[in-house]
């Protein structure tokens, strides 16, 4: 009976030690969770390998986990990572900026567009509209503007390295 008591006591002590060690590991190595302030380096590329943008070697991008500051699917993929972790995240259009919406193209009389902006690919802005507006086509009397996000309809790949976490 004494041996059984000691054995149970030893197991309880071992359990407490393991619990304590796992608790310390979480404190020493925090992971991304709700409310975390996260800094990361990234390279964003398209499915054909074209690099859209990158901040590698520059200032990290910073956001608050759960703050709706980045794409929700990207935010979910980063949950649980720690500093120096890397992850490649590929997002289909539905999880990124959606499919191209044909209703987001609008014809505008050419006179309403500054002459220097009448070039396919030019990005315009408009008061009261937060997104970019791209010149899609220039015709004799009209300009067709595209109000879709420039990344709509595209599969995106993010190569990410977590550089800071608070």
pLDDT digits (tens, 9 = 90+) for 46-86: 999 999 999 999 999 999 999 999 999 999 999 999 999 99
Which residue from 148, 161, 160, 156 is spatially nearest to 52, judged by alpha carbons?
156
Give the mean model confidence (pLDDT) for residues 25-44. 87
The whole-angstrom separation of Cα 60 and Cα 53 is: 13
Residue 99 has pLDDT above 50, yes or no: yes
Q: Does 76 fall in a domain?
A: no
Whole domain around residue 21: which residue ranges?
1-30
Give the mean model confidence (pLDDT) for residues 138-144. 97
Residue 27 has pLDDT above 90, yes or no: no
Q: Does 38 fall in a domain?
A: no
Q: Give the 3-state secondary structure of residue 166.
A: coil
Tokens standing for residue 96? 């990124």
Q: Does 56 fall in a domain?
A: no
Q: Does 151 fall in a domain?
A: no
Tokens standing for residue 131? 């997104």
The total of structural domains in the chain comes to 2
Residue 21 banded pLDDT, cuts 50, 70, 90:
very low
Tokens standing for residue 133? 């507006």
C-alpha separations of 21 from 18, 28, 60, 71, 83 in Å: 5, 10, 31, 35, 19
Q: Does 130 fall in a domain?
A: yes
Q: Does 15 fall in a domain?
A: yes
Q: Residues of the chain with pLDDT > 90: what percent? A: 78
Q: Give pTM, 2 decimals.
A: 0.75
CA 156 to chain centre: 10
Q: Does 165 fall in a domain?
A: no
Q: Does 24 fall in a domain?
A: yes
Q: What is the pLDDT of residue 29?
A: 81
Residue 116 banded pLDDT, cuts 50, 70, 90:
very high
Tokens standing for residue 14? 């071992």
Which residue from 143, 121, 125 is spatially nearest to 134, judged by alpha carbons?
121
């Amino acid at each position: 009976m004494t041996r059984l008591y000691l054995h149970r006591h030893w197991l309880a002590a071992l359990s407490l030690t393991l619990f304590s060690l796992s608790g310390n590991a979480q404190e020493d190595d925090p992971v991304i969770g709700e409310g975390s302030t996260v800094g990361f380096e990234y390279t964003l590329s398209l499915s054909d390998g074209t690099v859209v943008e990158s901040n590698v070697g520059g200032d990290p991008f910073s956001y608050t986990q759960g703050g709706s500051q980045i794409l929700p699917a990207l935010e979910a993929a980063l949950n649980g990572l720690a500093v120096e972790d890397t992850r490649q995240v590929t997002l289909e259009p539905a999880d990124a900026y959606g499919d191209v919406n044909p209703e987001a193209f609008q014809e505008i009389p050419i006179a309403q567009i500054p002459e220097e902006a009448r070039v396919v690919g030019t990005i315009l802005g408009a008061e009261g509209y937060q997104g970019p507006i791209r010149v899609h086509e220039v015709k004799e009397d009209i300009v067709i503007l595209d109000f879709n996000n420039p990344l709509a309809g595209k599969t995106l790949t993010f190569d990410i390295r977590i550089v800071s976490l608070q």
